[in-house]
Amino acid sequence: MSIYVFVEQAGGKCRKASLEAVTAAKKLGAGEVCAILLGTGAQKAAQTAAAYGAGNCVTAEDTVFDSFMAESYAHAIAHLLPEDAVCVLLGNTAAGQELAPRLAEALGAGALIDCTAIDFVDGKFTVTRPLYAGKVFAREAVIAPKAVITLRPNSVAAEEAPAELAVTAGSVPAMDFHTIVRDIVQKAGTAVPLTEADIIVSGGRGMKNAANFKILEELADVLHAAVGASRAAVDAGWRDHGDQVGQTGKVVSPTVYIACGISGAIQHLAGMGSSKFIVAINNDPEANIFKVADYGIVGDLFEVVPALTEEMKKLAG
């Protein structure tokens, strides 16, 4: 049995969430791990995929795949998969969330989205999924003959497990698409996607204005972290919606989440509650965020954050 992982890549560089999915597939021990890569640089990226355990890679280097379109990607993957493929894993990125249901429909597969753990039990792919804004975790199994599963970033640490590389250049039949991407304009800012960051520094209503986010950006720069925001900060126009963490924003699972001036509304906790370590900085000792924090600092964030930044600089040398 073979387990396939769709590996997102750009210019020959694999996305971290995809390498985590490769590691998760390897740890299942349910069969050979294979990868599918699309677009220019796919064969180069296949070398990285092999370093993490996906030795057999199927590539399609057609430039039509250089810009992501769910319709074309689902069409390509469905044709590149062999008939005996029983499971396709994807990172639960923006692309993975859009692609998974289309791919499941094309394959006649069962789909489980935003999983935090995957097992192979009694011949079935069984997952753990957070429900009701993370209040409970469900164990669910795919009973369909095929499965499409997305894995939440940072749920599984990517681990190198070198495999001998064998690349097959696949062919994708032409198709008339309903939409075509003409151009992609990259947003200026951190190179670390919020959902894949190991450390996130977030600000809320307590930041008072957009200009004050500069002190969070300075701390994030020292920590090589991403900057996030609560809905209150986004609604106030202080940060873009793409930075929003919460039930109506992005769901993140970093190693460290530093919440600055964030009260801890349930909608925000739903987006970051699965962080491994939560640090809260707030001048209100009764703030709800302290109930979930591993470490809490009751104080003025405009004094605490700059002091923390200076200490981090010293530790960084």
Q: State pLDDT tens for residues 117-164.
A: 999 888 889 999 988 877 889 999 988 999 999 999 999 999 999 999
Q: Is the dihedral of CA 230, 210, 185, 16 positive or negative?
A: negative
Contact 127, 137 (CB under 8 A): no
For the chain, what are the domain ranges? 2-169, 194-316
Query: Per-residue pLDDT tens for 86-110?
Result: 999 999 999 999 999 999 999 999 9
Q: Rounded to whole angstroms, how far apart are CA atoms 23 and 167? A: 19
Q: Which pLDDT does position 189 carry in this prediction?
A: 56
User: 3.10.129.10, 3.40.50.300, 1.10.10.10, 3.40.50.620: which CATH number matches 2-169?
Assistant: 3.40.50.620
The average pLDDT across 19-31 equals 91
Q: Alpha-carbon Rg of the chain, whole angstroms?
A: 21
pTM value is 0.84
- If you classify domain 194-316 with CATH, what class do you get? alpha beta
How many whole angstroms separate alpha carbon 7 and alpha carbon 89? 9
Task: Report the pLDDT value the prediction gives residue 62, as an integer from 0 to 100.
Answer: 87
Q: How far apart are alpha carbons 54 and 134 in whole angstroms?
A: 31
Instruction: Give me the percent of the chain exceeding a pLDDT of 70.
Output: 98
- Residue 129 identity: R
210 φ/ψ angles, rounded to the nearest 5 degrees? -65, -35
- pLDDT for the residue 26: 93
Among 275, 279, 276, smallest CA distance to 216 is for 279
Is the pLDDT at 72 greater than 60? The verdict is yes
- CA distance linking residue 114 with residue 94, whole number of Å: 11
Q: Taking residues 190-196, what's their average pLDDT?
A: 77
Which helix (H) or strand (E) segment holds residue 203: the answer is strand 199-203
Helices (H), strands (E): how many in the chain? 8, 17
The Cα 234–Cα 141 span in angstroms is: 37
What whole-number distance in Å separates Cα of residue 141 and Cα of residue 122? 10
- Report whether pLDDT(186) > 70: no
Q: List the end-to-end C-alpha distance of the chain, in Å, as a whole number.
A: 50
Q: What is the C-alpha to C-alpha distance for residues 209 and 223, in angstroms, rounded to an integer? A: 23
CA 237 → CA 141, 190, 202, 250, distances in Å? 42, 19, 15, 17
Instruction: For residues 175 and 40, give the distance between their C-alpha atoms in angstroms, rounded to a whole number.
Output: 19
2-169 and 194-316: same fold?
yes
Task: State how far the Cα of 195 lies from the Cα of 17, in Å rounded to an integer.
Answer: 9
What is the per-residue pLDDT across 234-292, written as a single tens digit (0 to 9) for each? Answer: 999 999 999 999 988 999 999 999 999 999 999 999 999 989 999 999 999 999 999 99
